[in-house]
Structure 1
Amino acid sequence: MIVSTEPLEWRPRVIVIGGGIAGLTAARDLLVSMPRASVVLVDASDRVGGKVRREEIGGHLVDVGAEAMLAVRPEALDLVSGLADPADVVTPTTTSARVWSRDGLHPLPRTRIGVPFADSVVAGLLTTDEESRMRAETEAPDVGDDVSVADYIGGRLGSAVVDRLVEPLLGGVYAGESRRLSLRATMPAVWAIAQARGSLLAPPVVDPQAGTARPPFIGIAGGVGRLADLLAADIEQRGGVIESGTIVRGLERTQSGWSVLSGPTTQPRRLEADAVVVAVPPPAAARLLGPVSASASTALAEIEMASVAVITLAVPKAEVASWEGSGFLVPPVDGRGIKASTFSSAKWGWLAAEGDDTAYLRASVGRAGETASLQRDDAELVDLAVREISEAVGAPPLTLVDSHVQRWGGGLPQYTVGHVNRIARVSQAVSEVPGLEVAGAAYRGIGIPAVIASAHAAAAATTTHLRAVAARAGE
């Protein structure tokens, strides 16, 4: 619980740059812990939410960004529970996913982020020789400070495990390539095993006294995109100000704190603040931090970004009524255009009920370093999704009721080898600049719970700083 303890006569000014979930959460936290604070959130987009977004498709609002939140860690569930009706927190109707590979759909084996266990059923997805190689797990090498996912897992279990299991799972989360992604940053549970030189195939230890486990994922009735609306409404109810469509062009340190330059070059505006939270993607953060922390800026500029697109299809419900599971993943080694598909109406009961006779499907395209698929126009991407989803399930071509293509250009930071040390450099540099904090998907994880955690940390550090300033002023 966040409790306010600041002096009643004090009214600190904080500017939050960026209106994604990180910026919104940080702004709300600051208003909860310091109700008298003047908090202004400035965002360049037409609306807040970042990559958490809904659009009207087939007459209904549907998520075109994130549609689920990891619930095995508490941040997302706790935040939603504090903003929405408890009945609005929902769990998937089914999470039974498959892998479209070798011209067939195979059940997704039980894995640890794509790494199978000794009792996982991989026949069909892996050949007999590939499975034998997997089970002949090689000895654990020394991993040093970091190693790529593919180098480590492929070296121990064989390249087929990487190609057919790890790659499609990581591609869905990070839109990255396992041969460049950091094992330490993207798969901390596997990294811990690697450091201990344990077996990758060993099943996780289950505590019999742990009780009922959380569901792995949660959503929000009406769509995860509602989270941005709920946060924005709460911020404004608490007296915060949200300015959308406003570009921040510069940051400057002043004797009293900060000056934030915003607006077009023809009509510049300066906002004065006692503290600033920068919650924008790495390229924009690197640009803004250049004049105030060259070290942080340099480290952030090293973070590569991947572009992706989400294709949403509205189709007659009768055409997909017999389809099984929640969707499928596609290994890049199979050379398909899409990398995954989600049967959204089958996965979310609220969407099935709201859609009436219309069902919703999603497909995603785009991986780091891959540009060909994203160079297609929207109509071509829709045709690609319709063709490949139909082919995967062995169904006739789907009838479109409506469709939507959401492009996220440079939307996903790449956690390449050395990412943990890179972010440590950013954190150290930022800590040396009083009144400055950063938050977002680039730092401690790209999922919504991790982003929320980074925002909590930034807001808490900002609050601590401002109270120390007030204490010194009152001495």
Structure 2
Amino acid sequence: MSAWEARAEAGHVVVIGGGIAGLAAAHRLLDRGARVTVLEASDRVGGKLLPGEIAGVRVDLGAESMLARRPEAVALAREVGLADRLRPPATATASIWTRGALRPMPKGHVMGVPGSASALSGVLSDEGLRRIERDADVPRTQVGDDVAVGEYVAARLGREVVDRLVEPLLGGVYAGDAYRISMRSAVPQLFLAARAHASLTEAVREIQAKAASAPQSGPVFMGIEGGIGQLPLAVAESVRARGGEILPRTTVNGLRRAPGGWEVLIEDQVVEADAVVVAAPAQEAARLLRGASPGAAAELRTVEYASMALVTLAFRRADIALPEGSGFLVPPVDGRTIKASTFASQKWGWIADQDPDVAVLRTSLGRYGETEVLDREDADLVAVSRHDLREATGLDAAPVETRVTRWTDGLPQYPVGHHARVARIREHVAKVPGLAVCGAAYDGVGIPACIAGAYAAVDQLGGDLRGVQELIAHPVQSLHGGAGE
């Protein structure tokens, strides 16, 4: 380790951004002996992880779960004292609202891509089912360096699979368009398998066989009693308890190199730092890096975001009768307004236990390019959510309370070539001593991906590039339960 790298890792490090990525970076830096200051422009930490309350019941108003098959998020929760509050979903069954009815979510797929047509009756038309069976006879489709998920799957299995299965599943993660989203970045295991097999269904079956033979260590997803929004609060408390400083309502006006370190400009003062971790959304990161790393800034300016809204509704439990399961997804091809609904009181036992007389549901609205949806008034979003819930489930009761949470530019988009763009950003950043970046714009929008990226950024400050290289080679698949910066 060079003298600069030693100062960068163990001196004074300023982290710009107090979402889960920035907080995880601060937590890891304190482990390494650094003095840490976290600067957050808003009045709270946590980014897209937001605890809230409705009808006296604690709920999440942002991301509600985290992928547990990756170790980073669950391990961090345990480190900051939340081990006894980790909770798996009470039910793992879900539905898809398609072709006029709620239908069980088919099993045996990878992000909506089936290994066979046998489980898709009712979800797809007869012709759609026959199209899947012809996959083995279709000439090999090259994936090259990257390919759009929807484009590749439609070429192999037909558009119905994309429109009625892949779109709603990917939309639940990225709020994006499956025909634009990178398979290499968003579904890396499928990309690697597709490279090795001429048949896509054969590739999916291989993934399933490997998953079945691997030792299983608990549930796929995990929540936290009181909400996933408790995680950043607990990390922030741990950071402060160990001497780290967190300054909310602090906008960074500029960032510039200085002899032996950095100068971070906030309002009318300058904060000196040995190193800086930029854990802000892409456009804000671009603004901050335009002087120190113009190449990285130019790449970051090209990152697009999707906006979305969550409508949380509380009902008297005696007034409603819901289908079993955790909720349902909605294919956009059917022309509905909502893209998903979660039966929160059925999915999370800790929500149901708070008040046996209250049932909580939520809907999500908004996809990439659908800005007009979020231009509606809160009352309109509640009304269209109630309309779609009534059409899907027969629910006609009036809620006792509603809440609308808007996430403007909440989810970065991963189009074809995203991995190459991230590699270029990191190449530019690596040329600047004492600088690292992390967040949802790079390696995955899920909570484990944000934490893994934060740890890799801290390692990079100390001269260890293995974490960054691993993320580039093997992105962290997000699945469900996206996070934020």
- Name the TM-score, length of structure 1 as normaliser: 0.92
Contact 2:322 2:393 in 1 (8 A): no
Could you tell me how far 1:142 is from its partner in structure 2? 1.5
Query: Aligned partners of 2:277, 2:83: CA distance in 1, in Å?
Result: 30
Match of 1:357 in 2: 357
Query: Aligned partners of 1:249, 1:197: CA distance in 2, in Å?
Result: 50
Match of 1:458 in 2: 457
Could you tell me how far 1:210 is from its partner in structure 2? 3.7
- In the alignment, is residue 105 of structure 1 matched against residue 90 of structure 2? no
Match of 2:130 in 1: 132
Q: Pairwise mapping of residues 153-164 of structure 1 onto structure 2 (< 5 A)?
A: 153-164=153-164
Match of 1:440 in 2: 439
Could you tell me how far 1:105 is from its partner in structure 2? 0.7
The change in CA–CA distance for 1:176 and 1:373 in structure 2 (over 3 A counts) is same
Contact 2:98 2:330 in 1 (8 A): yes
**Identical counterparts, % of pairs:** 48
What root-mean-square deviation, in Å, do the aligned CA atoms of Structure 1 and Structure 2 show?
A: 1.8
> How big is each residue's C-alpha offset from its partner over 1:60-113, in whole Å with a ceiling of 9 and x where there is no partner?
221010000011111111111212342211100112111111111111112101
Match of 2:74 in 1: 77
- Which of 410-419 and 51-60 deviates more? 51-60
Match of 1:25 in 2: 24
Give the aligned residue type for 1:200. Answer: L
Query: Aligned partners of 1:164, 1:431: CA distance in 2, in Å?
Result: 42
Q: Pairwise mapping of residues 393-412 of structure 1 onto structure 2 (< 5 A)?
A: 393-395=393-395, 397-412=396-411
Query: Aligned partners of 2:270, 2:373: CA distance in 1, in Å?
Result: 41
Could you tell me how far 1:359 is from its partner in structure 2? 1.1
Match of 1:211 in 2: 215
Equivalent position to 1:54, from 45, 51, 55: 51
List 4+ stretches of structure 1 deviating above 6 A. Answer: none
Query: Aligned partners of 1:253, 1:398: CA distance in 2, in Å?
Result: 60
Query: Aligned partners of 2:122, 2:389: CA distance in 1, in Å?
Result: 20
- In the alignment, is residue 190 of structure 1 matched against residue 190 of structure 2? yes
Could you tell me how far 1:436 is from its partner in structure 2? 0.3
Give the aligned residue type for 2:413. Answer: Q
Contact 1:386 1:398 in 2 (8 A): no
- Which of 273-282 and 53-62 deviates more? 53-62
Q: Secondary structure at the residue paired with 2:308? A: strand
Could you tell me how far 1:181 is from its partner in structure 2? 0.9
Give the aligned residue type for 2:17. Answer: G
Could you tell me how far 1:356 is from its partner in structure 2? 2.6
Could you tell me how far 1:394 is from its partner in structure 2? 2.3
Query: Unmatched 5+ residue regions in structure 2?
Result: 465-485
Contact 1:193 1:199 in 2 (8 A): no
Q: Secondary structure at the residue paired with 2:95? A: strand
Query: Aligned partners of 1:89, 1:344: CA distance in 2, in Å?
Result: 16
The change in CA–CA distance for 1:125 and 1:11 in structure 2 (over 3 A counts) is closer
Give the aligned residue type for 1:262. Answer: I
Query: Aligned partners of 2:363, 2:129: CA distance in 1, in Å?
Result: 29
Give the aligned residue type for 1:328. Answer: F
Match of 1:245 in 2: 249
Query: Aligned partners of 1:212, 1:421: CA distance in 2, in Å?
Result: 33
> How big is each residue's C-alpha offset from its partner over 1:242-289, in whole Å with a ceiling of 9 and x where there is no partner?
0001111111000120001113xxxx2211100000001101011111
Could you tell me how far 1:384 is from its partner in structure 2? 1.2
| Alignment size in residue pairs | 452
Q: Pairwise mapping of residues 198-347 of structure 1 onto structure 2 (< 5 A)?
A: 198-202=198-202, 203=205, 204-206=208-210, 210-263=214-267, 268-347=268-347
- Name the TM-score, length of structure 2 as normaliser: 0.90
Contact 1:109 1:120 in 2 (8 A): no
Contact 1:174 1:412 in 2 (8 A): yes
Query: Aligned partners of 2:100, 2:201: CA distance in 1, in Å?
Result: 27
